[in-house]
Amino acid sequence: MEDQNPPNSTSKLLLWFFSISACVKLLLIPSYHSTDFEVHRHWLALTRSLPLSKWYSDETSPWTLDYPPFFAYFERSLSLIAHLVDPRIVDVYNGLEYKANSVIYYQRISVILSDLCLVYGVYRLTKNLEVKRRDLMWVLVVWSPGLMIVDHIHFQYNGFLLGWLLLSISCLQEGKDLMGGFLFAVLLCFKHLFAVAAPVYLVYLFRHYCSRGFVRGFGRLLLMGAVVVAVFTAAYGPFIYHGQIQQVIRRMFPFGRGLCHAYWAPNFWVFYIILDKVLSVILRRLGFGIQIPAASFTGGLVGYSSPFAVLPRVTPATTFIMVLLALSPCLIKAWRNPQPGLIARWIAYAYVCGFLFGWHVHEKAALHFVIPLAIVAVQSLEDAKHYFMLSIVSCYSLFPLLYEAQEYPIKVMLLILHSILMWLGFSAQFNKKSVTKAANKKKGTQLEVKGSCERGGFMMGWVGKSYLFGLLIVEIWGQFLHSYFLGDKLPFVPLMSISIYCALGIMYSWIWHLKIDRVEGEVTPAFLKFPM
């Protein structure tokens, strides 16, 4: 293949990547059958068999519909074919807990095919990119182990949704702001958890799209507003018409669920909880009468009584403010100088903040920033190193999702394969020889790559290496040594140690994002003292 590829042969390689992963995904069909299968099957049945007005009020199954309306429409369209495959799939009552091969195959294959959206998104994003970065980005996104674990083993439609996000980002990068905004609005009506990046979009679009003079800018603002309103009307209109809108909102935002999930997602609140426990123990030793809260480690922090012994209680409002605060540096940057080249970075950063400080964050949400960060990762050596660490950590933090022995080698292999691919790819991209070559070829345009040249090839620093090595120890301890040494005592320790250890890595990533200051096209030296 030549440097200037005709679009046909370009997409051929991407399709080849996709097909290879599709083969593996097909092989994974009989793997772990999670409850999400039943959730999505029930949604298929719900949207097919019930009138629209009852979609959000039905309580036949505990797995009520809690995604926004576009996702419900998506399920509805899937259910049309599902009905032809096996009518029992879409039966609300007889289909409950239906586990025949027909359902499993249909659902699995629908996820595999819906990944084409991701493929298209990544294709649009990379079609004007130089070949090396493009290939590497495809490897990172299409063969992402996190997506494989969450979508194709555990079962969800994240690949499809992230495809929308990438499409939206690609439009923004090309300067098609209206289209980008439209796609993001659609995405929000598919899954509202993506709303964390909404402030970034808001500021960026306002400054970049609506800032060409007062009259023209105001016109554009109105246009954008009209588009967004139109999208939301298309989504929620029918439910407003049926008087169901309050019910829809209640379902979509179940704040009764508590700060953390049963398995703590590796975020800031892990440290907060641990600090609370440590403080309460210390204070009790010192003679203060501290009550032990009723909530347990593994049972999650559900309920209305405060689960904290010492520290103040965290409410959804607190987390909301925390996320906004964490976002603010990036918002300020976007306000001052809205550059299309940095939008992917800002969006990824927004999802990192949402993950770290959000309310009831699920570990699967890590995908929201890992996939967009892949776009950034190929830009410079620093980014590559950061991505290498972060994607390993976030993939590892998904391990507890598949707790059965059967999937154990699969998830380990996926992570190892991904690490090797990243290592090979990054070191190929950033090795000295090819860098100088590229620099000779296109002088001036390769500033950021030149910057990496001075530091040598792709090598992790000793802190990074030892941190990643620590993951291995945490895993070996949790899997083998813990039960060997402690038996049944302290059963929560393995999971908790994964949470804490991964939270360290993701907190580091957040700080890295904050410290690194980038202007489009060149890199000002990173201020990080860590040799990561």
Partner 1 sequence: MGKKKAEKMTYDKVEVVDNGDDVWWWLICRSIGASFLCISVFALLVRVAVSLHPYSGAGNPPKFGDYEAQRHWMEITLNLPAKEWYRNSTINDLSYWGLDYPPLTAYQSYVHGLFLRSFDPDSVSLFTSRGHETYLGKLLMRWTVLSSDALVFFPAVFGFVSVYHTSRTSSRKADIVWHIAMLLLSPCLILIDHGHFQYNCISLGLTVGAVAAILSQKELVASVLFTLALNHKQMSAYFAPAFLCHLLGKCLRRKNPLLEVSKLGLVVIGTFAVIWWPYLHSTDAIFGCLVQVLSRLAPFERGIYEDYVANFWCTTSILIKWKQLFTTQTLKIISLTATVLSCLPSMVQQLLAPSSKGFLYGLLNSSLSFYLFSFQVHEKSILLPLLPATLLALEEPHPFKWLTHLALFSMFPLLCRDKLVLPYVALYALFTLLYHAPGRCSGRSKTSKTDYSSVASIMIGLLYVCSFILHIVYLTMRPPEKLPFLFEAVIMLLCFSQFMLFACYTNAKQWWLSKRLTTDKEKKHI
Alpha helix ranges (H) inside 86-213: 101-114, 116-126, 131-142, 145-147, 158-174, 177-190, 198-208
Minimum distance from CB of 139 to partner 1 (Å)?
7
Nearer to partner 1, 310 or 428 (CB): 428
- Cross-strand partners of 518: 523
Which segments of 315-433 are extended strands (E)? none
Nearer to partner 1, 75 or 135 (CB): 135
Residue 38, burial from CB neighbour count under 10 angstroms (0-12, 13-18, 19+): buried
From CA 515, how far away is CA 526, in angstroms rounded? 7
Minimum distance from CB of 376 to partner 1 (Å)?
18
Nearer to partner 1, 23 or 481 (CB): 23
Tell which residue, 114, 159, 102, 162, has the closest CA to residue 344: 162
Nearer to partner 1, 35 or 406 (CB): 406
Packed helices 131-142 and 116-126: angle between N→C axes, nearest 10 degrees: 160
Which residues are CB-neighbours of 40 under 8 A, at least 6 positions away? 75, 107, 155, 156, 157
Nearer to partner 1, 66 or 130 (CB): 130
Which residues are CB-neighbours of 117 under 8 A, at least 6 positions away? 159, 160, 163, 164, 167
Would you tell me how many other CB atoms lie within 10 Å of the CB of residue 182? 18
Nearer to partner 1, 176 or 465 (CB): 465
Minimum distance from CB of 521 to partner 1 (Å)?
23
Minimum distance from CB of 437 to partner 1 (Å)?
7
Minimum distance from CB of 484 to partner 1 (Å)?
13
Question: Taking a C-beta distance cutoff of 8 angstroms, is the pair 333, 346 a contact?
Answer: yes
Minimum distance from CB of 143 to partner 1 (Å)?
10
Nearer to partner 1, 416 or 447 (CB): 416
The amino acid present at 421, given as its one-letter code, is L
Minimum distance from CB of 116 to partner 1 (Å)?
16
Report helix, strand or coil for 373.
Answer: helix
The amino acid present at 476, given as its one-letter code, is I
Contacts with partner 1, residue ranges (CB under 8 A): 1-3, 9, 12-13, 16, 19-20, 22-24, 26-31, 131-132, 135-136, 139, 405-406, 409-410, 413-414, 416-417, 420-421, 424-425, 427-429, 431, 434, 437
Buried b (16+ CB within 10 A) or exposed e, 308-323: bbbeeebeeeebeebb
Question: Structure tokens of 30?
Answer: 């009989």
Question: Structure tokens of 399?
Answer: 């391990």
Nearer to partner 1, 14 or 203 (CB): 14
Round the CA-based radius of gyration of the chain to a whole number and report it: 24
Nearer to partner 1, 13 or 234 (CB): 13
Minimum distance from CB of 501 to partner 1 (Å)?
23
Minimum distance from CB of 223 to partner 1 (Å)?
42
Nearer to partner 1, 185 or 401 (CB): 401
- Cross-strand partners of 522: 519
Minimum distance from CB of 265 to partner 1 (Å)?
26
